[in-house]
Amino acid sequence: MSGCLTIVGLGPGDTRWLTPAASEALAQATDLVGYGPYLVRAPERPGQRRHPSDNRVELDRARYALELAADGARVAVVSGGDPGVFAMAAAVFEAVESGDPAWRSLDIRVEPGVTAMFAAAARVGAPLGGDFCAISLSDNLKPWEVVEARLKAALSADFAIALYNPISSARPWQLGAALSLVREVRDPDTPVVLARAVGRPDERITVRSLSEVEPSQADMSTLLIIGASTTRLIERDEGRGPYVYTPRSYGVRS
Ligand SMILES: C[S@@+](CC[C@H](N)C(=O)[O-])C[C@H]1O[C@@H](n2cnc3c(N)ncnc32)[C@H](O)[C@@H]1O
């Protein structure tokens, strides 16, 4: 039997956010490949083989999954959130492009998942209701100058901005540098959403003004949403956080 490979988005945490199509792809796989903590989120199936790996070996993991599929396995590569957003789908295609030409004949599919920025946005209202963009602050695979140029362009275009990979022990200063750039352009009262571990038991969502945000309030499980100039708060009763939303209209006079 010929093998196949599906890169499956598990969503950010809550298993109810796993799509039925993603569940089906997991159930049909003979082999599951992925970062260990993500693999444990896939339901156990008798006879299914699991191949956990470390977090920072995406290309090796992708090549291993392709080899398994080329040997006839039905492989599911699991990925947190959506596999196409700073994740395993691109790693698999990078491996295909530079790898064994036979891999190009494999049936390779991508099953989408809920990405962290949509789960985070949904928790607070609709901060991504107007135009927005997503930027990874990781400079592991691109120079920091590129991150900076993209952030400046997004700021000058007045996008709401989702920041993935804001900080880690190996990348301690990048979020502070990014916030300095944001503060040069955006109002100190701009709403900023800090969404940590959305959909997991240790979820923590806070809404602060730009002037109050500190890098120490984020970790590698945090996603930030920086509001655009039109992003605003709707205050609620004491003890309940505000709604955060960005209207669909921009500069339209009534
Ligand atoms: C390598 S990226 C993977 C993104 C993932 N593919 C997605 O679509 O959400 C990892 C970054 O995604 C964000 N992230 C992933 N899961 C999250 C969650 N449950 N809550 C908040 N942020 C999350 C964090 O910014 C983290 O540093």
Q: Are residues 108 and 123 in the same domain?
A: no
Q: Are residues 212 and 229 in the same domain?
A: yes
Question: Ligand 1 centroid to 12 CA: how many Å?
Answer: 7
Q: Is residue 252 part of a domain?
A: no
Question: Ligand 1 centroid to 198 CA: how many Å?
Answer: 9
Q: What is the largest CA-CA distance in the chain?
A: 64
Its domain, for residue 87, covers: 4-114
Q: Are residues 78 and 173 in the same domain?
A: no
Report how far residue 194's alpha carbon sits from residue 62's, in angstroms, rounded to the nearest whole number: 31
Instruction: Classify residue 168 by its DSSP letter.
Output: B
Question: Ligand 1 centroid to 79 CA: how many Å?
Answer: 10
- Which of 57, 117, 128, 221 has most ligand 1 atoms within 8 Å of its beta carbon, as the pocket-test mutant? 221
A 10 A CB-CB count for 250 gives 12
Q: Which residues does a 6 A CB cutoff place in the pocket of ligand 1?
A: 12-13, 79-82, 85-87, 115-116, 120, 164-166, 195-200, 220-223
Which stretches of the chain are assigned E, i.e. beta strand? 4-9, 31-35, 49-53, 74-79, 107-111, 125-126, 132-136, 160-164, 191-196, 204-209, 222-226, 232-234, 243-245
Q: Angle, to 10 degrees, between the axis of helix 88-98 and the axis of helix 58-70?
A: 70
pLDDT of residue 252: 66
**What pLDDT digit, counting tens, does each position of 131-171 carry?**
999 999 999 999 999 999 999 999 999 999 999 999 999 99
Q: Which atom of ligand 1 is nearest to the CA of 79?
A: 6
Contact 109, 93 (CB under 8 A): no
Residue with tokens 């590129």: 146
Report how far residue 174's alpha carbon sits from residue 180's, in angstroms, rounded to the nearest whole number: 10
- Give pTM, 2 decimals: 0.96
Structurally, the chain folds into a number of domains equal to: 2
158's CB contacts (< 8 A; 6+ apart) are 228, 229, 230
Backbone angles phi, psi at 169, to 5 degrees: -65, -30
Mean pLDDT of the chain: 96
Structure tokens that stand for 55 in this block:
């977090």
Question: Ligand 1 centroid to 253 CA: how many Å?
Answer: 37
pLDDT of residue 251: 78
Q: Which atom of ligand 1 is nearest to the CA of 117?
A: 9
Report how far residue 163's alpha carbon sits from residue 223's, in angstroms, rounded to the nearest whole number: 6
Q: Are residues 140 and 239 in the same domain?
A: yes
Of the residues 99, 114, 129, which one is the last residue of a structural domain?
A: 114
pLDDT of residue 1: 54
Q: Is residue 96 part of a domain?
A: yes
Of the residues 79, 114, 149, which one is the last residue of a structural domain?
A: 114
Give nearest CA residue, ligand 1 atom 10.
165
Give nearest CA residue, ligand 1 atom 27.
165
Residues of the chain with pLDDT under 70: 1, 252-254
- Which among 141, 72, 65, 142 is positioned nearest to 110, based on CA atoms? 65
* Residue 14: CATH number of its domain: 3.40.1010.10
